[in-house]
Amino acid sequence: MTDDLLGRHRAVLPDWLALYYEDPIEITHGEGRHVWDAHGNRYLDFFGGILTTMTAHALPEVTKAVSEQAGRIIHSSTLYLNRPMVELAERVAQLSGIPDARVFFTTSGTEANDTALLLATAYRRSNTVLAMRNSYHGRSFSSVGITGNRGWSPTSLSPLQTLYVHGGVRTRGPYASLSDDDFIAACVDDLVDLLGHTRAPAALIAEPIQGVGGFTSPPDGLYAAFREVLHERGILWIADEVQTGWGRTGEHFWGWQAHGQNGPPDIMTFAKGIGNGMSIGGVVARSEIMNCLDSNSISTFGGTQITMAAGLANLTYLLEHDLQGNSRRVGGLLIERVRAAAAQVPAVREVRGRGLMIGIEITKPGTDEADPQAAAAVLEAAREGGLLIGKGGGHNTTSLRVAPPLSLNVAEAEEGAAILENALRSIQ
């Protein structure tokens, strides 16, 4: 029973391991864009296990690949040649846009960002890192140290010196009133000024769209302008594509491509959606950066055969079915429906995002003050209506996060928008 499971959960797991809902649910199975709980209730899933079920629940192509690989061998580590790992690395390297790319697989986005920081600091011989305000990069000791979101950074202790840069949040902060061009210019000026007061940093790490921060983003071109400043000084650019990669934004395959006027990033990290629920993360970097380490290393579970088989099948399905194009088309419809509904709800400050990555910022009506209780009420009301969504936020904000599997169809988008509209109206 779910009630018994909740008691057992609380008895053996940490207090800080968050659960959604006043009455938490146990998800027992899923199919397509739907999941079911232990009581048999069906939900339209607009969060996908935190943007991880990228194509669909129980996608036959992926489950078949996993089953067949499990029947051969599940795991051997990186100490042996691994055909599925090589094949997926070849495809990721080609898709990355990074010249002479090398790929290292991990088990999560956190571990991928850890590896990127290791590479950048070793390559540049510096432990100073630039990060964006309102950012989130993982839960490890080094990644919480570069996370610019107080709610997700439990300690100020860090092996790195982190300096935070303006620009990740367009509609808040000292430059919010500026035009896009002036906003970018002001952020670049701030970056240049910051660099004049510190030792040369190893890298800037940035999410093209800030995930946990509430799906906030700068104007297109900001990171291209940053890259020009960084490149002049030899500072690396790390694009954290853990949530934005694989076509989720619709307009681009990678989030960095909205800022790609000055070329691809030096290092890119990925995870979540590529495994469609299997634990895959990774780093792509130019060969001289990836190969800069002067000691041996391995990965016990990164690149294991069963996860690589899932990733290959999932990526093949995504490309053959143009899920990036579907994200652009259906996501455009969904965001317009959500904006129309939100226009009638004073508590909604902003609806933002692109593709199937939509944020709804909730505030106390007539103010810019966050209203976490109202956001929680919408989350509960959506669940009661049969819809699962997420939440996030930073900079004293609270946002709802909408990120369905990329195979979402028009009818499901309309259904989800209607449930969400009712949930938003319930807090008035």
Distance from C-alpha of 352 to C-alpha of 252, rounded to nearest angstrom: 17
Nearest by Cα to 46 from 55, 33, 37, 29: 33
Per the DSSP assignment, residues forming a β-bridge with 30 are 35
Paired tokens of 201: 């940093």
Show Cβ contacts of residue 234 under 8 Å, excluding neighbours closer than 6 positions: 124, 200
**Domains 63-320 and 323-387 equal at CATH topology level:** no
Cα–Cα dist 52/310, whole Å: 13
Question: Rounded CA gap, 44 and 230, in Å?
Answer: 43
Amino acid letter for position 237: W
pLDDT digits (tens, 9 = 90+) for 336-392: 999 999 999 999 999 999 999 999 999 999 899 999 999 999 999 999 999 999 999
Within 10 angstroms of residue 236's Cβ, the number of other Cβ atoms is 27
Tokens of 137: 């990069």
- CB within 8 Å of 292: residues ≥ 6 apart: 119, 122, 123
pLDDT score recorded for residue 358: 98
pLDDT score, position 3? 66
- Does domain 63-320 fall under CATH 3.40.640.10? My reply is yes
Q: Where are the beta strands (DSSP E) in 249-384?
A: 267-270, 281-286, 348-353, 358-362
What pLDDT, on the 0 to 100 scale, is given for residue 396? Answer: 73
The residue ranges of every structural domain in the chain are: 63-320, 323-387
Contact 412, 31 (CB under 8 A): no
Residue 152 has what pLDDT?
Answer: 80
Q: Largest Cα–Cα distance of the chain, in whole Å? A: 61
Residue 310's nearest CA partner among 108, 70, 110 is 70
Nearest one of 213, 193, 199, 207 to 237, comparing CA atoms:
207
73, 309 in Cβ contact below 8 A? Answer: no
pLDDT tens digits, 135-190: 999 999 999 999 988 888 888 888 999 999 999 999 999 999 999 999 999 999 99
Task: Give the per-residue pLDDT at 154.
Answer: 85
pLDDT averages per 10-residue partition of the chain, 428 residues: 83 95 97 97 97 98 98 96 98 97 98 98 97 93 90 85 95 95 98 94 98 95 97 97 98 96 94 97 98 94 97 98 98 98 96 97 94 96 98 86 98 98 94
Q: CATH number of the domain at 323-387, please?
A: 3.90.1150.10
For helices 305-320 and 323-342, angle between their N-to-C axes, nearest 10 degrees: 70
Q: For 330, phi and psi rounded to 5 degrees? A: -70, -35
